[in-house]
């Protein structure tokens, strides 16, 4: 899967080592989010927003892609990868289509995730009742 997308692993071919680094990097990203909520008393919504922005900034500076090559799912599963995907889509389409491409490129890479969030939020609203 990684080779088809042009993502070659940089941490060797040992499967146990790949899983270990994915776990460590993904865990560290989650620890950062938990630290923001516990120490700075940020709400979950503010924490998620900050993590998306951090991923976008790292992606814009071309620092997130080496992390993805190194940690694989440890970097692509956390919410920071959504920010990276937004920026990468905007950059790619902006280079070919200009300003309009920046706007449409944001949705090109992330449309499946956005659509899934809308559908599952709707289904949750239909089938479950809030406790409050």
Q: How confident is the model at residue 1 (pLDDT cuts 50, 70, 90)?
A: very low
**Would you state the pLDDT for residue 53?**
96
- Which residues fall within 8 angstroms of residue 70, CB to CB, at 6 or more apart? 9, 10, 11, 21, 25
**Would you state the pLDDT for residue 4?**
47
Encode pLDDT of 2-57 as tens digits: 454 455 555 556 888 889 999 999 999 999 999 999 999 999 999 999 999 999 99
Element (H, E) at 113: helix 80-127
What's this model's pTM, rounded to 2 decimal places?
0.78
Encode pLDDT of 78-124 as tens digits: 999 999 999 999 999 999 999 998 988 888 888 888 899 999 999 99
Q: Output the 3-class SS for 13-68.
A: CCHHHHHHHHHHHHHHHHHHHHHHHHHCCCCHHHHHHHHHHHHHHHHHCCCHHHHH
**Would you state the pLDDT for residue 69?**
93
Averaged over 124-129, what is the pLDDT? 91
């Amino acid at each position: 899967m990684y080779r088809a997308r042009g993502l070659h692993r940089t941490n060797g071919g040992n499967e146990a080592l790949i899983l270990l680094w994915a776990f460590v990097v993904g865990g560290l990203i989650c620890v950062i989010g938990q630290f923001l909520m516990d120490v700075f008393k940020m709400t979950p919504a503010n924490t998620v927003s900050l993590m998306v922005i951090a991923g976008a900034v790292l992606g814009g500076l071309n620092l997130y892609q080496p992390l993805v090559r190194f940690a694989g799912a440890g970097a692509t599963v956390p919410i920071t990868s959504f920010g990276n995907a937004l920026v990468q889509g905007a950059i790619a389409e902006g280079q070919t289509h200009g300003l309009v491409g920046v706007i449409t490129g944001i949705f090109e890479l992330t449309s499946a995730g956005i659509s899934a969030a809308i559908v599952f939020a709707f289904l949750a609203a239909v089938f479950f009742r809030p406790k409050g």
